[in-house]
Structure 1
C-alpha cells in the first residue's frame, strides 16, 4: 500500500513537470487558420507597427493577383492572424503572385504589399502597418456629384467616392505603391491610372489633379432698380452670403487656399465669419471704401487654391468707426468682437439657434441666459446723452405678451427693449442723464418709443444718437425721433456692465427688482462710435435682411 502511494505521487510529480516544460517551450502562437505550426510553410514573416513594436493579433490576408472585387468573395481569401510577436505563416498559397494585406482593427493601421512572389520571398516577408493616406485624382471629364467607386485589382481595396470640385478624393488607403488605380462611375464610365501611385501615411497624394479656382461676380446695384442708395457711404461693411444654390462646394474643406474680394481693381479687406462646408453656407464681410450712390459696380469674390491671403485682404473690416461687432458665429461658448477692440462676450445659459440672419446666432429662452461684456463698465460703451453712437441689431422675438430686453447697460444708464403694454406695445430706447429738470432733484430720463405693432418675424432695430438727439429705426425706417422727457427717482449709475438679452429693472418699489430676459434669437449686433445716416441704416437693413439676399453672387464658369 505504501509503495502504491509513492508510485501515485511519482506519477503526479512527473505530470506537473511535463506540463511546466510544455508551457515554457511553447512558441506562444495563436491559431493561424490555414497556416502551419510545424513543417515548411509556403511563406512566413513578421509584421510591425510604425513605431517598431510587434503587430500582434492583426488580421493577415493573401490575395491572388487576379482577384476581382466585382466577381470574387473576400470570404474565400486565405486569412490568418499574427501571434503576440507579430509572426504569421501560410502553408499554402492561392497563386504564384499575390498581395499581402494586413489591418489592425483597433488603430486602423494597414499594410498592403503587392506583387509578392512565393518563390522569391518565401520566409523573409517583413512589413510595417502605418496610418492610412489619401489620393486626390483629377477627374475633369466627370461632372461634380458623379458617384462611383475606386478599386485596385488584385487587392480588396474598394472605396465609394463622389466627384467634388473636379477631383476624386479617396480616403483610408494603405501606405504603399498602388497600381493600377481605377475609378468606375455608377453609370459605367471609368478612369484608370496605370502608373504606380505612392500613398503616404497621413498625407494626400495628387494624381493628375488641377488647382481649384472659384470666381463669383457680385453685382452692386445702387440705382432705383437695386437698393436706391441716396448718398455715398464710406467704409461700409458689406455682407456677402454664399450657399449651395450658388455652387456645389463639397470638397472645399480639403483644400488649402485663400479668398479675395476685388472692386475696381482694388483688393478689399475680407473676413470669413462663418463656413458650414457640409451645407455649403458661407458668410463673408468686406469693407467698401466708397459705396457709390445711384451707381452700378461689380465686386469679384474668388477662391484660389495654394495661395495665401494678401495683406490688403487681411485688413480689419470693422476697423473704421466701430466700437464692437458681434456675429455670434462661434457657438455658445464665446461671442467674439470682430473689431479687435476686445469686447468679447461671455454667453451663459444660451444655445445655438436653429436659424440666423447669416451664419450662426444665439437663442435666448426667456427665463435665463445672456451675453455679458466683461470690460464694459467704463470706456467706449459708457455712453452719455451727448455721445455719438449707432446700435444696429437683428432680433426674432418669441411671444409678445411680456417685456423683453435686447441690450442695456444697467436699468438707469441706457437700454433697448420691447415693452409689453395693456393697450399697446412698443420698442423702447431709454437713456438717463445727470441733468436736473425740476426742484425734485430727480435725474432726467429720455425715451424714444415706437408704438407700431411688433412682430415675431426677423426685425432690424437701430438707434442713432448724437448731441442733437436720437432716432429709433425699425426695419430701415425711422420709427421715433422726438424724445419723451421726464424725471426718474432712480439715480443714474454708470458702473453696470453691458449685457445682451437681460436687464434687471427697478420697479416702483426700489427694493423690488424685475429681471427682463429676451426670448428668441439675437444676431449681427454692431455698435459704431458715429451717428450713422438714414441711408446707412437702410442699406444695412437691405444688405443683412435674411428674407431677401442682397447682393446676390453669380458663379463665373
Structure 2
C-alpha cells in the first residue's frame, strides 16, 4: 500500500484540531489561528513559572462538553509567560494553576478578535471554596453544579448542597446547576465573589445576586476596640457599589443574612432607583471590635419576592430604642417612629421642608414656626426621671451662627434636651449642649467646649445620662463628662411632648429665649432608655458620616 504524503497527515491533524476547538468554542468556521499571550506572577510578585494555563470558551460546560483541547493549554516559562496560538475568535476565560504551589487564577471576560490578544498580567492567589445550596425539590442524585467557562464542577450531595473546592479567588460570573432531566442548565447566582482562603456560600437560591459586606473596626476603619451588641448598621447603596437594574423597583427583593445564613432584620429608609441611591438599616447582633473579617451578606434579584423591611425589628424596644425618627417623610406627612412604640410625629402647620441629609432625606427648619411634635410622649416611655438612664442623639446642621438658643430635640426647657446655643461674643461662647433640668435646682449642663460649632456643617451630637453622671459627645468623641449647674427655683415641667426643632412651651425663666426654634437641618433623631457607651457612639458616627468608615464592599 502506498503511504500518504506527510503534508496530508498535517492537513488531517490540523482539521482535527480545528474541529475540536470549534466544537468547544460553540461551532463556527473561523480558523484556529488567533494568538493569546500574557504573563502570570506569583503571590511574591515573581514570575510564576511552571503554571498551567487554559483558555476556555466563556460558555463552556464542563459536564456536557468535551475536554479542553491540548491546543488551548500551555505552561508558563521561566518569565511567567504563556503563548497559545490555536484560538478562534470569541469570548473566553483564562483558568490557571501553579503545578506545585496549587495557587490559582481566573480571568473572565476576555474577547479574542484580532490576530493577537495580549492579556494584562495578573497574580496567582490562594484558592477558596464555594458551598452551593440548591432549591428545594431538586433531585440531588442527578444534579451537578458547575461554573460556566471553567473546568470546575461538583456532584450535589444528598443533604441538598454541593461543595466546589480549589476555586480561584475573585468573581465567578455565574453559578449553574443541571439535572439529568434538564435540557437547559439553571443559573443559581451571578457575579459571586470568592474570597482567597475562605468559603463563599451560595444560600437563598431563589435570589440571583449576593455580595459580602465586611465591617472594618480596626484602626484603618471605624477604630472601635470593643464589640457592640444589637447595632443597626447603615448600608448605603450608590451607582458605585450597586446595580439598581438587578433589583426590584422598590428594593422589595433585598435581603441580608449572617455568615451562617441566618436572616437579619432590616429597614429600607430610602430606595431611589431613578437616582441610584438607597439607605438601609441592618441589625447585627454583634459588631466585633478591632476586626477586619466580620461580614454579612446582601441578596437581591428575585422578581417574585415581597418586601421584608421592618423598622420595629431593627430598632427593637427590647434593645433600648424608645424613639427613632429618620425624618425622611415630606410635607405634612406623619413622621414615623421606627420603633414599636409608634411615637409618630406631627409637623407644625408650616411643615419643615424636606432636604438632603447626612443619611438620606432630612427636615429643614426655618428658625421660626417649624417643629415636629411626637404625640403621646409627655407621660410615656420618653418621660425620664431626674438622674435617669437614657441617651439622646441627632445629626444637626446649623445654617447660621447668631446670639440665640436653638433646640434640636427635647422635652421642654425644664426637663431634657439637645441645644445649639450662642451669645455675644460669639467667638468665645458658641456651644452645643446636653441639658437635664432638676426640680427647683436648675439646669445640669454638659457642653461641647472646646469644640466650637460651625455654620453649614453636619455634626453628630449625643447626650448620655447614667444616673448622676452625664456625658456629651461630638462626632463620636467624648467631649464633656462634667456637669455645670445654672440654678433656678422653677418646677420641673414633664407635661410637654417630645419635639424636634422647637419647644412646645416658652422657657419658664427667660421669655427672651422663647421656644428656641432651630434654623437649619436635622436628621436621624434617636432616644434610648439605656446609657450608650463610647464604642457604641463612635461606631454610630463612623458608620453614619458621609464617608462611612465601617462598611467595606
Range class of TM-score, shorter chain: 0.5 to 0.7
For 1:413, the equivalent position in structure 2 comes to 415
Distance 2:246 2:218 in 1: 38
Q: 1:252 offset after TM fit, Å?
A: 4.2
What residue in structure 1 maps to residue 447 of structure 2?
Answer: 449
Tell me which of 272, 293, 298 is aligned to 2:295: 298
Give the stretch that moved more between structures: 363-372 or 380-389. 380-389
Structure 2 residue runs without a partner (length 5+):
1-189, 191-205
State the SS of the aligned residue for 1:502: coil
Of residues 496-505 and 521-530 in structure 1, the stretch that sits farther from structure 2 once superposed is 496-505
Q: Which residue in the other structure is 2:366 paired with?
A: 365
The answer to whether the aligner puts 1:213 opposite 2:208 as a matched pair is: yes
TM-score under structure 1 length normalisation: 0.57
Q: TM-score, normalised by structure 2?
A: 0.57
The answer to whether the Cα contact below 8 Å between 2:351 and 2:371 also exists between their aligned partners in 1 is yes
CA distance in 1, matches of 2:347, 2:311: 27
Distance (Å, rounded) in 2 between the aligned partners of 1:294 and 1:353:
37
The alpha carbon displacement at 1:450 in A equals 2.0
Quick check: 1:334 aligned with 2:334? yes
Partner Cα distance (2:521, 2:464) in 1:
22
Deviation at 1:216, TM superposition (A): 2.7
Whole-Å separation in 1 of the counterparts to 2:251 and 2:491: 56
Q: Decide whether aligned partners of structure 1 residues 215 and 410 sit closer, same or farther in structure 2, where only a CA change above 3 A counts.
A: same
Matched, 1:282 2:278: yes
Deviation at 1:225, TM superposition (A): 2.3
215-224 or 246-255, which deviates more: 246-255
Q: Write out aligned runs for 1:84-233 (5 A).
A: 213-233=208-228
In 1, distance between residues paired with 2:522 and 2:265?
Answer: 26
For residues 463 and 346 of structure 2, the distance between their equivalents in structure 1, rounded to whole angstroms, comes to 23
**Alpha-carbon distance between aligned partners in 1 of 2:519 and 2:424, rounded to the nearest angstrom:** 19
User: How far apart in 2 are the matches of 1:328 and 1:415?
Assistant: 18
- Equivalent residue for 1:238? 233
**In 1, Cα distance between equivalents of 2:530 and 2:422:** 30
CA apart distance, 1:313: 8.2
> Could you list the per-position Cα deviations for residues 1-42 of structure 1 after superposition, in whole angstroms to 9, with x for gaps in the alignment?
xxxxxxxxxxxxxxxxxxxxxxxxxxxxxxxxxxxxxxxxxx
Cα 1:374–1:356 shift into 2, 3 Å? same
Matching of residues 30-49 of structure 1 within 5 Å: none
| Structure-1 residue corresponding to 2:26 | none
Deviation at 1:552, TM superposition (A): 4.4
What are the equivalent positions in structure 2 for 1:302-317 lying under 5 Å apart? 302-308=299-305, 316-317=313-314
Deviations 1:461-485 (A, max 9, x none): 0011111311010101112111012
The corresponding residue for 1:353 is 354
Matched position secondary structure for 2:485: strand
Distance 1:387 1:307 in 2: 48
Q: Deviations over 1:509-542 (max 9, x none)?
A: 66x6623111111001111111010010000000
The reply to whether residue 384 of structure 1 matches residue 385 of structure 2 is yes
Among 250, 253, 260, the alignment partner of 2:255 is 260
Shift of 1:224: 2.1
Q: Partner of 1:543 in structure 2?
A: 543
Q: C-alpha separation between the residues in 2 aligned to 1:314 and 1:371?
A: 20
- Contact 2:463–2:470 under 8 Å retained in 1: yes
1:294 and 1:513, CA in 2 relative to 1: closer, same or farther beyond 3 A?
closer
- Summarize deviations over 1:66-87 as a string: whole Å, max 9, x none: xxxxxxxxxxxxxxxxxxxxxx
User: 8 Å contact 1:406–1:502 — kept in the other structure?
Assistant: yes
Q: Is the 8 Å Cα contact of residues 350 and 363 (structure 1) preserved in structure 2? A: no
Cα distance in 2 for residues equivalent to 1:368 and 1:509 = 19
| Whole-angstrom distance in 2 between the partners of 1:255 and 1:410 | 39
How far apart are 1:253 and its partner, in Å?
4.7
- Residues 368, 221 of structure 1: CA spacing in aligned structure 2 closer, same or farther, 3 A cutoff? same
Aligned equivalents of 1:461 and 1:258: distance in 2?
34
In 1, Cα distance between equivalents of 2:524 and 2:221: 23
Tell me how far apart the structure 1 counterparts of residues 409 and 544 of structure 2 sit (CA, whole Å): 20
* Contact 2:252–2:308 (CA under 8 A) maintained in structure 1: no
In the alignment, what sits opposite 1:399? 400
Query: Is the contact between residue 329 and residue 354 of structure 2 (CA under 8 Å) also seen in structure 1?
Result: no
The question of whether the paired residues in 2 share the 8 Å contact of 1:345 and 1:373 is answered with: yes
CA distance in 2, matches of 1:336, 1:299: 27
Which of 264, 268, 275 is equivalent to 1:272? 268
Equivalent pairs, count: 338
Change (3 A) 1:254 1:220: closer
Relative to 1, partners in 2 of residues 1:251 and 1:347: Cα closer, same or farther, differing over 3 Å? farther
Deviations 1:335-370 (A, max 9, x none): 101112111111222344332122211110112110
How far apart are residue 263 of structure 1 and its match? 1.9
Q: Which residue of 2 is the match for residue 247 of structure 1?
A: 242
C-alpha separation between the residues in 2 aligned to 1:243 and 1:532? 30
CA RMSD of aligned residues (A): 2.7
Is this contact kept in 1: 2:254–2:307, CA < 8 A? Answer: no
Q: Which residue of 2 aligns with 1:101?
A: none
Provide the C-alpha distance between the structure 2 equivalents of 1:520 and 1:502, rounded to a whole number of angstroms: 12
Distance between the aligned counterparts of 1:330 and 1:253, measured in 2?
A: 22
Q: 1:229 to 1:306 in 2, by over 3 A?
A: same
Bigger Rg over Cα = 1
Question: What secondary structure sits across from 1:337 in the alignment?
Answer: coil
List runs of 5+ in structure 1 lacking aligned partners.
1-209, 435-441
